[in-house]
A and B are shown apart, each in its own frame.
Chain A
């Protein structure tokens, strides 16, 4: 009975969305923002005090899964079911393994994605959230709020061509073994360290964890804000990256490029607005160019939660800007040092592995001794 009522309410909401009677806050420049708390601590110079450590982990993905259509929210009941699924799965996986197990199968264990057919590692290393985040009591199905379907806009055809052209290396020969599901297929993907993802090179954290825009990732979603009158720092655990935001300042000239761009900030009432440009042409957030421009807006939802809203634009990559928002809940947990380059065995082994494959191909001999 309760389930039927919930579905009914949900259906009504979906209907109201389709009829346009529900505002999904889709506009890039603001739209209807959630009601902000006016109380809360302030810094001595009178601005809201956002300082502290935040854990951004959430089950809500950046993009809404296809199955959900256009609904930005789901009911608490629906979210709870999904959250329980995740919790149950983790409980099952917590159980002991067979003490007499053998090695996994030759040819791989079928694990998809970057687990690379070799199963990655144990799940106890992962920390990516227990719940979908809520805004104004409504569970969100995606971080992206605009476009209204909760998905990034398509890349421009010219952007796709540009990105494909970046991968061509004249010194590279055939692409990796088509039959090896663990390998990336692009030609030359393992030719040089510069071809590897920035996270794998320990240049910046993977998955846009620092951004901007900062996004939740598989683990280490802790970020610390330190706030002074002239400078605000967002310290990102991975890769010990401090984004230094110069308040009321001008952007650097276009010749100066930074991995996380150049950020300047200002207050609009009780909202901190951070404007970032001057990205390198290798940062390439979601396939973008060095023309990437991010605007972030931080405001207080309640005493323990910030609302983090961001707009992404790059006219040479997307035909229109897109916007996302999610919550940054405070945590008592501590950030720990994430020195990455200092022990980056993996990058060396990945490249050595590729050179092994090259030797195998050239000698025609399988395996190596």
Chain B
């Protein structure tokens, strides 16, 4: 039982219209409920994460129990259940980076941002993540902010980079 009809709790914006169109296109298929992971991928690509409202909406549109969707969303690490920050900071903990001091880099980030791995700062600016190899071992230790790589890091350099991002965000 997933309820009667879709609730109007999420904005019917372009993203939602596209997500709805995608779900409708799956409905004609055999066992449309088996497309759940694809739908969740789509939703996360639009919103950056899976909100309760979006999961509810998918539940009602696809007639899949919400508890089941929640189970799938929590099973795969790929799915974000909280809204990520404006900047996603990934620290490489691959072998090369680790040997060259990635542990210190990570600790500096934790101290500077006052959050743990997988968390987002209160101002919504930064999300801190661990990464395995980013393919930039020559620059070890490295971190990636969104899709920009920062190499040859020292604790001081890390602090500088983060403060520059803050300043840039403040100006806007």
Instruction: Answer yes or no: do A and B interact.
Output: no
Binding site for B on A (CB under 8 A): none
